[in-house]
A and B are shown apart, each in its own frame.
Chain A
Amino acid sequence: MERRPLLQTILVYAAAVILAVVIIVPFAWLAIMSISSAADLSSRPLNWLPQTFDFSRYGKLLTVASNSAGQAFLASLRNSLVVAGMATIVALIVAVPSAWAVSRHKQVGWSIYLAIATYMLPAVALSVPLYKGLAALGLLNNVFGLAAVYLTILAPFTAWLLKSGFDAVPREIESAAMIDGARLDQILRRLTLPLAAPAVATAALFALLLAWDEFFYALLFTSDQRAKTLTVAIADLAGGRIADYGLIATAGVLAALPPVIIGIVMQRALVAGLTQGGVKG
């Protein structure tokens, strides 16, 4: 490291502090709101730090009592988990073989561009027919119906990510095994898939995060606790006539925890996926 002039060093640290504050303060404020008393949150001048810590809202949202805020919240949490989980699993089942095929056979390379283009389609372009279709099948306000709709986003997206994953597995390994007399299904199961496992895991994470984040279809296609997801439940809270802003913040903290923890723990894989998958075809 070459020596920097003092002024430049000061500027670098000043900028780093500003950036850190900009990133951290909104998160900190969300957490603080969730444990401040309603009185502290509605005082003028505002009490930036709570006079007393109030963790009761976490208890309220995480315990089941009939017709309580907790019941609605936990139901939406369960729905989010079920829908995101199902959609991710099916998306991978669909995308893994397809992405492998695209990676190995140049003549079907166009289909990955088709997948990218369909992933980018605005949801509004599909929403009315999907609504009518779900209604006809009796799948409105149903976790299976919503998971099926999420496939429209997750299947093309995971195929796109996985294609680069398979590109990184040398095809020579497959040819060598082929010469040794292994069947194609053996090669894929014993050789290619284990080698591509990190890419598959990354794709699964992105799919889960995408489904966890989804709002538009969930807003349209779900209406009560049987299928409403967390994003819709939080939007309901934010738009409703709740006097206690701390409760809204608490729901936000709880909904943000899983993806934020995944983000911290899986940092490397996610950043690699974000920077690579976005740049490569």
Chain B
Amino acid sequence: MLLPLLAVIVLIIGWPLASTIGLSLSDARLVGTAGDFVGLTNFANTLGNPSFGAAFLNTAVFAFASVAIEIVVGVLAALLLDQEFYGRTVLRALMILPWALPTIVNATLWRLIYNPEYGALNALLNQTGLIPDYRSWLGEPSSAMAAIIAADVWKNFPLVALIALAALQTVPKDIKAASIVDGAGVFARFRFVVWPYLAGPLMVALVLRTIEAFKVFDIIWVMTRGGPADTTRTLSILVYQEAFSFQRAGSGASMALIVTLIITVLAALYIATIRRGVARA
């Protein structure tokens, strides 16, 4: 029964991964000969390559900032949706929409919003008197990464909110009521009553979102292609350029494997987290 899944994993995942490892030890090009064995030269070059270091830093900034903001905004939204008010059901239903919007459409939408000549953001800030002149939000190194992070947060914080909301609803009502009767303040209630139920699922969301963020490609490709002046070039974009634009398959493979190593550490962290959850349940 397991055979089909294991066959898929070995054939179209295991084999390519193994051959990426082989490529990383060679000077192969994307098209043509297999190339010669060059040992660990590619890895040494990659680790000494300032572009790789810069791309790593860009990726870390994107992942850390977008995930941190998504978690904070997501939890705040979940705390709100856990209150009782008219229209709560509708608002809760709306939260699925940004999640359902395809990533490419989201990126395209925000690219239009940030448009330097006709974009809605420029129009809004200009017509309310906040900026005197239109700006190129995605064209200037100082704002491009922040603009991309904002677009990513908009799409992904609702997912965190939904996960956090499901966790909030597992907090027993009588404990909540008792803590209010006992006179616990808002922060004490959050820290000692709500947080123990929130921490586990939030940790899972945090690790999952960090993994996704470290692999980021689509949104950046559509919005800036890694520019301006490489300030939004993340690891996946760099590997794409190295292996496919410059056709240096061997060198690209070595970069891809370093990315894979980072993701593997995060994935191990994820699996350890859910296994601990399973053991506790």
Contacts and interface: CB of A to CB of B under 8 A. Distances in A.
- Do A and B come together as binding partners? yes
Contacts of B8: 94, 151-152, 155-156
Contacts of A275: 162-163, 166-167, 201
A182 interface: no
Interface string A124-149: 11111111110100000000000011
Nearest to A126: B16
B175 interface: no
Interface residues of B, number: 99
B278 A280 contact: yes
Nearest to B262: A122
Contact of B2 (A93, A102, A264, A280): A102
Nearest to A26: B109
A189 interface: no
B108 A252 contact: yes
B105 A255 contact: yes
A259 B102 CA distance: 8
B80 A16 contact: yes
B13 A42 contact: no
Q: Is the interface of A mostly helix, strand, loop or mixed?
A: helix
A87 B255 CA distance: 29
Given A42-B118, A120-B263, A252-B108, A128 B252 contact: yes
A21 to B, nearest CB: 11
A20 B94 contact: yes
Nearest to A149: B12
Interface string B8-34: 110011011101100100000011000
Interface stretch (B41-49, B141-149, B187-195, B239-247): B239-247
A256 interface: yes
Contacts of B218: 215-216, 231
Interface stretch (A61-69, A107-115, A168-176): A107-115
A209 B225 CA distance: 24
B29 to A, nearest CB: 10
A256 B105 CA distance: 7
Contacts of B96: 263-264, 267, 270-271
Interface string B97-111: 111111111011111
Given A122-B215, A231-B104, A45 B126 contact: yes
A151 B117 CA distance: 42
A127 B252 CA distance: 10
A122 B5 contact: no
B215 A33 contact: no
Given A16-B85, A46-B127, A245-B112, A129 B19 contact: yes
B127 A274 contact: no
B2 A98 contact: yes
Contacts of A120: 211, 263, 266-267, 270
A260 interface: yes
Given A1-B84, A120-B263, A128 B123 contact: no
Nearest to A271: B162
Contacts of B214: 122
A24 interface: yes
Contact of A128 (B85, B95, B107, B253): B253
Contact of B120 (A46, A126, A216): A46
B52 interface: no
B237 to A, nearest CB: 9
Given A97-B4, A111-B2, A149-B12, A124 B240 contact: yes
B5 A95 contact: yes
B80 A12 contact: yes
Contacts of B167: 275
A95 B221 CA distance: 32
Interface string B258-279: 0110011011001100110110
Interface of B: 1-9, 12-13, 15-17, 19-20, 23, 30-31, 77, 80, 83-85, 87-88, 91, 93-105, 107-113, 115, 117-118, 120, 123, 126-127, 154, 158-159, 162-163, 166-167, 180, 200-201, 204-205, 208, 211, 214-215, 217-218, 221-222, 225, 235-236, 239-240, 243-244, 249, 252-253, 255-257, 259-260, 263-264, 266-267, 270-271, 274-275, 277-278
20 contacts: A26-B110, A26-B154, A45-B126, A48-B123, A98-B4, A117-B267, A120-B211, A122-B214, A123-B215, A125-B20, A125-B257, A125-B259, A127-B244, A235-B104, A256-B102, A260-B100, A271-B96, A276-B166, A278-B163, A279-B201
